[in-house]
Amino acid sequence: MAQRHNRTLFFAILLCCAGPLWSQDPQFSQFYANPLYTNPALTGASNNIRIGAIGRTQYTGIPNNYLTAAASLDVPMPSLGGGLGAMFTSDVAGDGRLSTNTFNLLYAYSQQLSRSLYVRAGVQAGYYQRAYDWSKFKFGDQIDIQLGTFRPQTQEQQPNDRVNLVNFAAGILLYSDKFYGGFAVHNLTEPNQSFYSPNSSADEFKLPRRYTAHAGANIALTQSRFEEQKVIISPNVLYMQQRNYNQLNLGFYVKKQSLTAGAWFRQTSRNSDAVILLVGLKFPKFRVGYSYDITVSDARTATQGSHELSMVFEIKPPAKSAKKVKKAMTCPEF
């Protein structure tokens, strides 16, 4: 019980001293299983109607650890020259139940550059809400020294309990049958997310821009008349930077018929972070993937690993509409 109170008190101190701290957007190991979150330009890129969901529990060795989930829908829109999408994300952390919820609308435009090369440009606009549960915090003036318990009341001044923002992102994607690469910028206007100083323009209160660069390829190891019979290896790289924090994901996955297996290594700005192992199953209209992050940094004893589960449904659009759609990207799946 004492350890739980200590964690709550520590989290409250972090909240009250939030001036010099900067938050970071949640991240997913299966970044291509959540394509709209990775890059708005991926909206509608498969030319199928996609419904996706992904959930992540990070650092399972820590009580009240990070829980993150996202759901998305994107559809090809030939009449608009690209695709439309919608995405919801939710992130909850700590004893104080610090939560961040977002809802975004996305649009991507596609253009053919040559016989086999295409470019897509995407934009995103959304609503961002950050909140916490004040009743979960414990402060020094609540401690009953004689009994060693907490009193229900505190003299601490409560700041705003939620922050509501409008947020924007943009991205670009270049692709052919064999390779793809893109770049995206999130939190374009760097809005103020402070509970204590909502009107300040100081950098420490801003939600920092997140820069993402990603690339990959599809390499057939065997030849076959039928695509599903080929063994395909897909090397991938993703680099992200958000203010002074950056991370690099390097890895690959191998596909054969309905089975996918992969491995990645994640390096952060400070240390080697995790080895990521993945297994996935793909069916005609549905695929599911599971990955486990094996923490390799010095925090591995305390934090242990992280689990992630993704599901994607893909539905072909009506035949008349499909004929008008520009060439689909051979989408990476996990």
pLDDT winner (highest mean) among 84-98, 153-167, 202-216: 202-216
- Compute the average pLDDT of residues 289-308: 84
Q: What is the pLDDT of residue 96?
A: 57
How big is the chain by its Cα radius of gyration, in Å? 22
Q: What is the pLDDT of residue 205?
A: 83
Instruction: Determine contact, residues 92/66, Cβ cutoff 8 Å.
Output: yes
pLDDT in tens, 176-196: 888 999 999 999 999 988 888
Q: Where are the alpha helices (DSSP H) in 19-78?
A: 35-38
Cα–Cα–Cα angle for 47, 53, 57, nearest 5°?
Answer: 145
Question: Is residue 6 predicted with pLDDT exceeding 70?
Answer: no
Q: What is the pLDDT of residue 43?
A: 95
Cα–Cα–Cα angle for 119, 25, 314, nearest 5°?
Answer: 50
Give phi and psi for 52, each to the nearest 5.
Answer: -125, 150
Q: What is the pLDDT of residue 124?
A: 98
Nearest to 139 by CA among 2, 4, 8, 18: 8
Give phi and psi for 264, each to the nearest 5.
Answer: -135, 160
Tokens 């229900």 found at: 152
The model's pTM is: 0.85
Question: Is residue 138 predicted with pLDDT exceeding 80?
Answer: no
Torsion of CA 41, 54, 285, 333, to 10 degrees: 50
Alpha-carbon span 296 to 292, nearest angstrom: 12
Q: What is the pLDDT of residue 17?
A: 39
Helix (H, G, I), strand (E, B) or coil at 146: coil
pLDDT in tens, 18-38: 334 446 788 899 998 999 999
3-state secondary structure 198-257: CCCCCHHHECCCEEEEEEEECEECCCCCCHHHCEEEEEEEEEEEECCEEEEEEEEEEEEC
pLDDT band at 281 (very low <50, low <70, confident <90, very high): very high
Q: What is the pLDDT of residue 15?
A: 41
pLDDT in tens, 312-327: 999 988 765 555 556 6
More confident residue, 326 or 156: 156
- Residue/partner pairs of 2-8 with CB below 8 Å, 24 or more apart: 4/63, 4/95, 5/138, 5/150, 7/63, 7/64, 7/94, 7/95, 8/95, 8/96, 8/136, 8/137, 8/138
Share above pLDDT 70 across residues of the chain, in percent, rounded to a whole number? 84
**Domain parsing of the chain, residue ranges:** 2-324
Question: Is residue 14 predicted with pLDDT exceeding 60?
Answer: no
- Compute the average pLDDT of residues 193-219: 87
pLDDT in tens, 61-95: 677 678 899 999 999 998 899 999 999 999 988 76
Average per-residue pLDDT for the chain: 83
pLDDT in tens, 227-278: 667 788 999 999 999 988 899 999 999 998 889 999 999 998 878 889 999 9
Q: What is the pLDDT of residue 5?
A: 44
- Phi-psi region at 190: left, alpha or beta (left = phi > 0; alpha = psi -120 to 50): left
More confident residue, 217 or 58: 217
Q: What is the pLDDT of residue 227?
A: 66
Question: Is residue 4 predicted with pLDDT exceeding 70?
Answer: no
Q: Where are the beta strands (DSSP E) in 2-158?
A: 49-58, 66-77, 82-93, 98-112, 118-131, 143-144, 149-150
Alpha carbon separation from 114 to 83, 174, 225 (Å, rounded) = 20, 12, 25
Q: Domain 2-324 belongs to what topology? A: Porin (2.40.160)
Which DSSP category does 197 fall into?
A: -
